[in-house]
Chain A
């Protein structure tokens, strides 16, 4: 049965309450991506991934963010044996896509289980 609940606050029986507007700032887009095979393992609200170069990929969003700065990205990947300075970061962020880098020992490398997600303001 289709329905609609209108509420400004969610209240837990013992832990207090929270405004439903926090949902507005929750996760808006996520992706699991194997760059070695250039395949999408799982996702929500991404339209494509551009394999840009070794250790670089660009997820594109189906629902734009409200601006290029009104969101934060979280990027991780699988544990790698004998690694040092394992770094993941983003660059060239826009409201419709962002470039992701995966770095290991100061070298860009392809991850086989990259995790990417975005939290923040989706374009309303």
Chain B
């Protein structure tokens, strides 16, 4: 396995360029199904293979809290432009993750916080991790897809 260069302080974009050049993409079978509005159909998060390769390799991606800090900045009413880009580039990159840890990271990065913080608190789950084989095999009635109310979620 190729060794990741010492990347602390390297611009994230440059780290991603290195990864694109040196790592093979990893197609994950995992999918994250979530609902962030009662009026909308279920959404399905598909991990990017190049991103997954970075996560499994380690030493490339910033910790997920960095994205949360940037999201907080963007949520301010007077937000115009990010001023804390150094968080992405200067924070020590996270180490190698397992595929399951990478999916957890991805949920906290790309699913709405309101979903992953409370997905198991209502009458039925609003988020489920599954494999792509467990999803409907055709796109029929795609806009009516919902997470089953009969699904059992381990506490």
| A interface list, Cβ under 8 A from B | 28, 31, 36, 38-40, 43-54, 58, 60, 62-64, 66-68, 70, 94-97, 110, 122-124
Contacts and interface: CB of A to CB of B under 8 A. Distances in A.
A44 B80 CA distance: 26
B46 A40 contact: yes
A4 B79 CA distance: 35
B43 A48 contact: no
B119 to A, nearest CB: 15
Q: Report the 3 A-B pairs with minimum CB-CB distance, sorted nearest first.
A: A123-B85, A51-B44, A67-B81
Contacts of B16: 44-45, 62-63
B127 interface: no
A39 B25 CA distance: 13
A66 B85 CA distance: 8
Interface of B: 11-13, 16, 20, 27, 31, 40-41, 43-51, 54, 61, 67, 70-71, 74, 79-82, 85, 88-89, 106, 109-110, 132, 135, 139, 142-143
Contact of B12 (A51, A62, A110): A62
B48 A43 contact: yes
A47 B43 contact: no
Contacts of A54: 139, 142-143
B121 to A, nearest CB: 22
Contacts, number: 108
A38 B143 contact: no
B48 A47 contact: yes
Contacts of B45: 48-51
B46 A38 contact: yes
A43 B41 contact: no
Contacts of B71: 96
Contacts of A36: 139
B70 A64 contact: yes
A66 B67 CA distance: 13
Contacts of A96: 67, 70-71, 74
Nearest to B73: A95
Contact of B13 (A31, A48, A50, A63): A63
A96 B4 CA distance: 25
Given A40-B48, A47-B106, A64-B88, 19 more contacts: A38-B135, A45-B16, A46-B51, A48-B45, A48-B110, A49-B45, A50-B45, A51-B44, A53-B43, A60-B109, A64-B67, A64-B70, A66-B81, A66-B82, A66-B85, A95-B70, A96-B70, A96-B74, A122-B13
Contact of A67 (B11, B43, B80, B135): B80
A68 to B, nearest CB: 7
